[in-house]
């Protein structure tokens, strides 16, 4: 079973990973966006880390709702509200259980990803974070390692796609041939789940 501590470790691992990969995320965003995805994610997850250190969270749902709220309020740019919605919706779907199973987490994450699609209007294949998140949720039944591999594959598979949502879509065909920054950061978020479980 996964308790609040597991979810705090997940957020801490995600923050550390975003710190390590910020330059790469910004480089990807400089090719098809406005070169701020790394700094956006860093600002957001720094706030998540600080909030989780300051405020007590005693359930998995409370951890994710607090984290989501930080992302929404601190990150200007598309990714903040989208990731914020992902974590908040997932947290709400977990309710106030003190511990949740992996199946329950998969179901809640599915609700979170549905929330991102409803907010941003992106579908699979539009070259967004959705292209990493949907395969990850689909693979979660086979465990965290399978979800990580699916998210990484999904992120890499955005390269030949033409962007249909977000800033990269303004480039039209010129968005082809570059990996999507948001799909790349989503793969980091999913990989951090496996780190939290170790």
Given the rule CB under 5 A, which residues bind Mg ion? 29, 33-34, 36-37, 77
Instruction: Supply the minimum distance, in Å, between the C-beta of residue 117 and Mg ion.
Output: 20
Instruction: Supply the minimum distance, in Å, between the C-beta of residue 168 and Mg ion.
Output: 9
CA distances (Å), origin 163, targets 128, 129, 178: 7, 11, 10
For ligand ADP, the closer CB: 13 or 122: 122
Footprint on this chain of ligand ADP (rule: CB under 6 A): 29, 33-34, 36-37, 40, 77-79, 82, 116, 120-122, 128-130, 165-167, 180-183
Q: Would you say 138 and 151 are in contact if contact means Cβ atoms under 8 Å apart?
A: no
Compute the C-alpha angle 13/38/8, nearest 5°.
20
Rounded distance, CA 149 to CA 146, Å? Answer: 5
The owner of tokens 């479980």 is 197
For ligand ADP, the closer CB: 77 or 154: 77
Instruction: Supply the minimum distance, in Å, between the C-beta of residue 183 and ligand ADP.
Output: 5
Rounded distance, CA 115 to CA 51, Å? Answer: 23
122 binds, among ligand ADP, Mg ion, none (CB under 5 to 8 A by kind): ligand ADP
């Amino acid at each position: 079973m996964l308790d609040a501590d597991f979810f705090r470790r997940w957020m801490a691992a995600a923050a550390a990973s975003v710190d390590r990969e910020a330059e790469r995320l910004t480089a990807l965003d400089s090719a098809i966006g406005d070169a701020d995805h790394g700094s956006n994610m860093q600002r957001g997850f720094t706030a998540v880390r600080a909030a989780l250190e300051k405020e007590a969270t005693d359930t998995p749902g409370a951890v994710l709702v607090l984290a989501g709220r930080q992302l929404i309020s601190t990150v200007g740019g598309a990714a903040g509200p989208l990731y914020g919605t992902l974590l908040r919706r997932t947290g709400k779907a977990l309710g106030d259980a003190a511990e949740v199973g992996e199946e329950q987490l998969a179901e809640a994450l599915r609700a979170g990803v549905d929330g991102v699609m409803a907010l941003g209007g992106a579908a699979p294949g539009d070259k967004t974070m959705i292209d990493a998140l949907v395969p990850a949720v689909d693979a979660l039944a086979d465990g965290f390692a399978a979800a990580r591999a699916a998210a990484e594959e999904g992120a890499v598979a955005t390269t030949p796609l033409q962007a249909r949502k977000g800033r990269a879509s303004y480039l039209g065909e010129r968005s082809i041939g570059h990996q999507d920054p948001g799909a790349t950061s989503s793969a980091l978020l999913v990989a951090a789940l496996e780190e939290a479980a170790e």
